Amino acid sequence: MENFDSRTVLNVANVEIPGRVFLAPMAGITDLPYRRICRAHGAAYAVAEMVASQAQLRTSRKSQERFNLKGEQAPRGIQLLGCFSQDLADSARYAAECGAQIIDLNCGCPAKKVCSVASGAALLANEDLVKELLEAMVSSVSGPVTLKYRTGTDEAHINAVRIAKMAESVGVQMLTLHGRTRAQAFRGEAEYETIRQVKQAVGIPVIANGDIGSGAKALQVLQETGADGVLIGRAAMGNPWIFEEISAALDGRRYVPPSKKAVIDVIAEHTEAHLSFYGSERGLKTIRKHISWYFKRLDLCTDYLKRLYEENTPSGLQQALVRILEDELPDSESAMAGVLFPLEPKPHLPHHEESKDEKTGVD
Ligand SMILES: Cc1cc2nc3c(=O)[nH]c(=O)nc-3n(C[C@H](O)[C@H](O)[C@H](O)COP(=O)(O)O)c2cc1C
């Protein structure tokens, strides 16, 4: 089996990405604290979640949280959402001032609230507008602009290759392609043939995305598409170790799953970082979804969650959380491996869900 070297450096214009396994932007999930955790476990790049480009939304709490790259490891990126070139150009400049080295345009979000204002995946139906938006962004910042998009509007309108060529011609420096159409949203299976065609059509890095949740799948997608890297979304919910697993598979190394202690340490560290980023009042609520994903991954009874949700102080939550994990997780390494990476997909993974944030769009 071919090795791909997970640490191959990808050059995105003047920015070096130190590997080919990336964390996908997921609104309301891949915030600054979680990106840091995923990078520590092997994600070579983690762009910030989509942020609205309209000037009047820039100072909202949510936008400010998403423009916040304080302490974020390089390479730093911010993803913008919008359909007006002036807004996107201004926002791109603002994102660069906030420390973003790479500015990404979202042409992939299928959420109604986003598409109904002609943004996200709705843009795929208007290639001229996408060109105008990308040109405006490219000319507004000195660093690279990238595009994250889907294969097309629907099965009858697959235009990913045309958009790729156009994007490259206006100076876009990397493409990330989710192998589904806007109409599919998250249904059905991602296809990789269009990603292969895009890779053949352009000279800039192409990152494959969609339904990649194991080392074997990442290898298969890289082999099938010739893509330069993979972007991992839902498989990273409650599972930052996925980056280590995929990296090991690409390098042809044996994957060593985390010990019980390492798992507990990561969940406790994530919880602490989350609470300090959002403040305890909000953070105690918003950390719940992450804890529930960890528990689902670890096959822990969700009855414990109710008990945790009753905790109303950070220290109470942390202590109760660590106690449950200490008591309930198996001690042996092989048992931990079986828990984190079962052979069959876990029954209750959030695979076809959109978060509240995705449904409602931004702000
Ligand atoms: C809850 C959720 C939020 C998402 N938010 C974003 C986003 O902010 N920007 C974006 O480009 N894609 C977003 N996506 C799409 C993912 O980046 C990714 O393209 C998609 O989930 C397919 O990859 P996967 O099969 O590995 O999950 C989101 C997906 C989910 C499930």
Domain ranges for the chain, please list them: 10-254+353-360, 260-340
Tens digit of each residue's pLDDT (9 = 90 or more) over 30-39: 999 999 999 9
How much is the mean pLDDT over the chain? 92
Residue 223, both tokens: 């082999």
Q: What is the mean pLDDT of residues 24-46?
A: 98
Substitution site in 65, 78, 234 for ligand 1 pocket (most atoms within 8 Å of beta carbon): 234
- What is the position in ligand 1's atom list of the atom closest to the CA of 106? 11
How far CA 170 is from CA of 2, 58, 137, 228, in Å, comes to: 34, 26, 10, 21
Instruction: Determine what percent of the chain is predicted with pLDDT higher than 90.
Output: 87
Specify the 3-state DSSP secondary structure of 238.
Answer: coil
- Assess whether the C-beta atom of 24 lies below 6 angstroms from ligand 1: yes
Known binding-site positions for FMN:
25-27, 79, 148, 178, 233-234
Q: pLDDT, tens digit, for every residue of 205-216?
A: 999 999 999 999
For ligand 1, is residue 52 a contact (CB within 6 Å)? Answer: no
- 328: CA distance to ligand 1 center in Å? 31
* Ligand 1 pocket residue status of 109, Cβ below 6 Å: yes
Q: How much distance in Å is there from the Cα of 109 to the middle of ligand 1?
A: 8
Answer positive or negative: Cα dihedral of 23, 28, 31, 34: negative
Asked whether residue 2 carries a pLDDT value surpassing 90, the answer given is no
Give me the CATH code for the 10-254+353-360 domain, please: 3.20.20.70
Could you tell me the pTM of the whole model? 0.94
Decide: residue 203, CB within 10 A, 0-12 exposed, 13-18 middle, 19+ buried: exposed
Q: What integer is the mean pLDDT of 343-363?
A: 42
Amino acid 319: pLDDT:
97
CA 231/CA 241 separation, integer angstroms: 14
φ and ψ of 117, to 5 deg: -110, 30
Scan for tokens 């959030």, then name that residue. 350
Residue 25 beta carbon below 6 angstroms from any ligand 1 atom: yes
Mean pLDDT across the stretch 89-109? Answer: 98
Distance CA 35, CA 25 (A): 9
